[in-house]
Amino acid sequence: MRHNIDTSQHGPLGKTMADAVSTCVHCGFCLSACPTYQELGRETDSPRGRIILMKEVLEGTLPIETAAPHIDACLGCLGCVPACPSEVPYGDLISPFRATLEPKRKRSFSVRFKRKLAQWTLPYPMRFRLAATTGRFAKPFARLMPAPIRTMLDLLPGHLPAASHLREVYVATKPQRGRVALLAGCAQTVLDPDINAATIEVLTRNGIEVLVPKSQGCCGALSWHVGNLSQAQSFAQRNLDAFPEDVDAIVTNAAGCGSGMHEYPLILKGTPHETRAIEFAKRVVDVSVYLQRFDQLVPFPVSTPKQTVAYHDACHLACAQGVRSQPRQLLQQVPGLTLVEIADGHLCCGSAGTYNIDQPEIARSLGRQKAERIISTQADVVAMGNIGCLTQIDNHLKRAGSSIRPRHTMQILRDAYRGAALP
């Protein structure tokens, strides 16, 4: 595809977007991999359709208001990327496009309020906990609230676990063979702090010292994916300064966070921090990837209860980071664990950061379909590596009356080390 994009009009991200646009050859292989195309059935809601819309907006031949509904409906799941024979870097287009054009968007007051509220609370654990606690008291009156607020209240869990405060250093409990720094995350520390506890226990049991930098903050992915470039850059710069260099790796246990940190070179493109961001991103790995480097985990007790586990591929782990085999290989080392696959596992569950707040109808439909496919596996547990997926899938499994428990991969491994029965 030839393009006539004036890259100088779109800041430091202009050339990146133009290069991504020019790679698409309209072959259509992306259509079957795109959840929103499967859901809506419109060319304009497919990856190649959105690429054409974005191209025309960047060229100045189409108003942003015309393209906006279709761009907003994109999950950003990147399911199209592994399906594309031309290797179109769709992630180098959708998020930069949103970041570049968001200041020019005209949104209603209610939508602006909803977006501001999400960006003011979710990346900050103390604020998020306060907002979620307050929201629980307002939940009985949700029907009286405006639609954007009602959507957010509906997504709140029935209860929040107690806050957990992490130490800065966790020493290895076996002969030390590694040292990592852990991103604790923001929403995850409120919704399910046990994921971090499980991650740390699995790492230390395997001879890995874990540092949890005190000055770290949100990874910035939530801000970046909704077009709030300045906030994303602020979070990225903070983490560049917070994480030490004398570690084997910076490990993440949330797919969206890991993907977001890999995008720091793009988020900080054209800034004085770009070179540091490139080196930083090279050191970021999912915890399953880091553990799999050791080939075999420290053995589990032979008394581990039998269980059938379905594995759910989080989009920003499988599609954005190419991490598919490592979590499965770790789980298969657990005695008595039978791993099963989920039909159409490549399709997004509908969480996608704040997508289930911004596009609740599509998100609900995708969540319901994912729950149905999980239920059909007849598994005891569904494993995954992302807090957003876990929250979304848990919600829809409960709505369907299923007893299948969603668990993070690290929680399953931790419980197996303890020889614990299913929680």
- Tell me phi and psi for residue 340, to 5 degrees: -125, 155
- Tell me phi and psi for residue 62, to 5 degrees: -140, 130
Question: Where does residue 196 rank: exposed (0-12), middle (13-18), buried (19+ CB within 10 A)?
Answer: buried
Closest CA to 147 of 98, 111, 180: 111
Could you give the 3-state DSSP secondary structure of residue 358?
helix
Q: What is the mean pLDDT of each run of 10 residues along the chain (423 residues)?
A: 66 86 90 94 94 92 93 94 92 91 84 83 88 79 71 75 92 95 94 96 98 96 92 97 97 97 96 97 98 92 90 96 96 96 94 86 95 97 96 94 97 92 57
Give the pLDDT confidence score for residue 295 in this predicted structure: 82
On whether the CB atoms of residues 192 and 199 are closer than 8 A, the answer is no
Residues 6+ apart with CB under 8 A from 364: 350, 356, 396
On whether the CB atoms of residues 258 and 189 are closer than 8 A, the answer is no
Question: Where does residue 3 rank: exposed (0-12), middle (13-18), buried (19+ CB within 10 A)?
Answer: middle
Q: Which amino acid is at 291?
A: L
User: If you write DSSP's letter for every residue of 69-122 in order, what string do you get?
Assistant: HHHHT-----THHHH-TT---THHHHHHHHHHHGGG----HHHHHHHHHHHHHT
Give the pLDDT confidence score for residue 421 in this predicted structure: 56
Give the C-alpha separation, 288 to 329, whole Å: 9
Give the C-alpha separation, 309 to 332, whole Å: 10
Residue matched to tokens 């569950």: 349
User: If you write DSSP's letter for every residue of 31-59 in order, what string do you get?
Assistant: GGG-HHHHHH--GGGSHHHHHHHHHHHHH
On whether the CB atoms of residues 319 and 82 are closer than 8 A, the answer is yes
On whether the CB atoms of residues 45 and 36 are closer than 8 A, the answer is yes
On whether the CB atoms of residues 308 and 379 are closer than 8 A, the answer is yes
Closest CA to 320 of 10, 80, 18, 4: 80
On whether the CB atoms of residues 290 and 183 are closer than 8 A, the answer is no
Give the C-alpha separation, 209 to 216, whole Å: 18
Give the pLDDT confidence score for residue 247 in this predicted structure: 97
Give the C-alpha separation, 237 to 275, whole Å: 12
> Of all residues in the chain, what percent carry a pLDDT higher than 70?
97
Question: What are residue 408's DSSP bridge partners?
Answer: 384
Give the pLDDT confidence score for residue 1 in this predicted structure: 44
For residue range 329-385, list pLDDT tens digits in order: 999 999 999 999 999 999 999 998 888 888 889 999 999 999 999 999 999 999 999
Domains of the chain: 7-104 (1.10.1060.10), 109-155 (no CATH), 307-417 (3.40.50.1860)
On whether the CB atoms of residues 101 and 94 are closer than 8 A, the answer is no
For residue range 34-70, list pLDDT tens digits in order: 999 999 999 999 999 999 999 999 999 999 999 999 9
- What the block records as the tokens of 102 is 């968001």
CB-CB neighbours of 398 under 10 Å: 14
Give the pLDDT confidence score for residue 186 in this predicted structure: 92
- CB contact burial 60-76 (16+ within 10 A = b; e otherwise): eeeebeebbebbbbbbb
Q: Kindly state the DSSP code that residue 11 receives in the 8-state scheme.
A: G
Cα-to-chain-centroid distance, residue 299: 30
